Amino acid sequence: MKTPNYFEFFSPVKINSGEQALSTLNYELEQLHVSNPLILTNQTLDELKILDILLSYMTKIDINPRQIIKTVPNQATLETVQKASHRYRELSCDGIIALGGEAIIDTAKGVNLTISENVDDLTKLTGIETAHGDMQPFIVIPTTSGTGSEAALSAVISDSKGENSLEFMSSKLMPDLAVIDPRMTFVLPPRLTASTGVDALVHAVEAYTGLQTNPLSDAYSFAALKLIGQNLEQLVSDVNNKKLRLAMNNAALMAGIAFSNSHAGVIHAIGDACEKISEVSHGDALAVLLPHGMFYNLKFEYCRNSYQDILLALAGSEKFVNTAAEDRALMAVDAVVGILSELRFLTGIPVRLEEIGVKRSEFNLIVDKAMHNSALLNSAGNVKRSDIVTILEAAF
């Protein structure tokens, strides 16, 4: 690992993690001076009684049913943000609680931007560091263990027609508090547990091998990789195991912190393009592309050196020691393939782009979209159109 001459690392989110993490909520709400929060979630989490678990720990404040919005869709939209912001103002709320996955968390970030910047048109704030005011107190309680959105400084929100994704990136978007309680993710079935776990794996791999890595992001991503290697396959076979669930929750969180600071690479650039052009699942696209993107990166010494550490993290010291130094990078890719193959056997996660609906006829559009993704600036080497085509063909 090379130490850069200069780097920045930012992670201001307080993290309460553990089996009884929700029991800290009353204290944390007092510390943030929140007595009238707006709670964002969805109907599914309400029906599964996850919302009830949250409310049972908020015993020192009275919650008006209108303070709870249960209709956040699976994709954050400007319309949902606008309606939630109107409710926030109408009820004179003084804080935001997001209970859910990435879409709900991104919606909450959009509400925070709208309220704190006192705007009606959120599109005026797209881009990087457009927020300047004091943000509202913001608590996130994730119900998936993959995206790391609870520690991310970005949000993606679709326009009113759902045709374009608006990106917001600011240190001010990060929550004040992330509550990581395994009870919130017990409802994830094996297939979704596998998919979200692979999402965290991709975050950790790219965070460890991007050009903007630094000693702090490396520490977070390496720890995340170890937890994933030791726990993901076991958790998929035993989804109600508290210790395994908490380990993967923490892995997703740490991978998210690393990813937010050292950023994405070629795998995410192509995965995002597949998601937008072919309308496929983000997690499925990344799961399919991960080993092929890693194999592409083997031609760069910088990545080969980093992949040796990934082998150690995922496969353990015995496998590392018993592998010749010149073979360790390739064996790291093999270790990833092994994890994906086992998850394929256990849950049927996809391994080919064709399986998830990507068409070869869409490759040119996917390449065009990927080439305009800023993540390529963080990838080793100068990624060309032909490189992306090679990865797509290998993954097809």
Kindly report, residue by residue over 305-347, the tens digit of the pLDDT: 999 999 999 999 999 999 999 999 999 999 999 999 999 999 9
Average pLDDT estimate for 110-139? 92
Q: Would you call 40 exposed, middle or buried from its count of C-beta atoms within 10 A (0-12, 13-18, 19+)?
A: buried
Residues 170 and 201 in one domain: no
CB atoms inside a 10 Å sphere around CB 139: 25
Q: Are 192 and 200 in contact (CB under 8 A)?
A: no
Give the chain's length.
396
Task: Of 72-76, 173-177, 243-247, 317-321, give the lowest mean pLDDT range.
Answer: 72-76
- Give the total number of structural domains in the chain: 2
Residues 243 and 322 in one domain: yes
Q: Is residue 152's pLDDT more than 90?
A: no
In a domain, 137, yes or no: yes
Share above pLDDT 90 across residues of the chain, in percent, rounded to a whole number = 79
CB atoms inside a 10 Å sphere around CB 314: 25
In a domain, 25, yes or no: yes
CATH assignment of the domain containing 283: 1.20.1090.10
The 68-69 sheet, strands edge to edge: 14-17, 177-180, 138-142, 95-100, 37-40, 68-69
Indicate the pTM of the whole model.
0.93
Q: What is the per-residue pLDDT for 65?
A: 94
**Strand 177-180, strand 138-142: pairing:** parallel
Average pLDDT estimate for 338-364? 95
Q: Are 287 and 340 in contact (CB under 8 A)?
A: yes
Q: What is the per-residue pLDDT for 1?
A: 59
Average pLDDT estimate for 167-190? 91
Categorize the per-residue pLDDT at 91 as very low, low, confident or very high, splitting at 50, 70 and 90. Answer: very high
The token duo for 17 is: 């993690």
* Distance from C-alpha of 380 to C-alpha of 390, rounded to nearest angstrom: 16
Q: What is the per-residue pLDDT for 162?
A: 56
Residues 232 and 371 in one domain: yes
Q: Is the Cα dihedral 93, 97, 101, 106 positive or negative? A: positive
Q: Is residue 103's pLDDT more than 60?
A: yes
CATH assignment of the domain containing 157: 3.40.50.1970
Non-local CB neighbours of 333 within 8 Å, separated by 6+ positions: 291, 294, 295, 298, 307
Domain boundary (149, 184, 219) is at 184
Residues 52 and 86 in one domain: yes
Q: Is residue 75's pLDDT more than 80?
A: yes
> What's the distance, Cα to Cα, between the start and end of the chain in Å?
33
Q: What is the per-residue pLDDT for 147?
A: 78
Residues 194 and 132 in one domain: no
In a domain, 284, yes or no: yes
Strand stretches in the chain, DSSP E: 14-17, 37-40, 68-69, 95-100, 127-128, 138-142, 154-158, 165-169, 177-180
Average pLDDT estimate for 121-136? 90
Tell me which DSSP letter residue 18 carries. Answer: S
Maximum average pLDDT range among 186-190, 272-276, 352-356: 352-356
CB atoms inside a 10 Å sphere around CB 293: 27
Residues 345 and 371 in one domain: yes
Kindly report, residue by residue over 34-52, the tens digit of the pLDDT: 999 999 999 999 999 999 9
Average pLDDT estimate for 367-384? 90
Domain that holds residue 354: 190-395
In a domain, 340, yes or no: yes
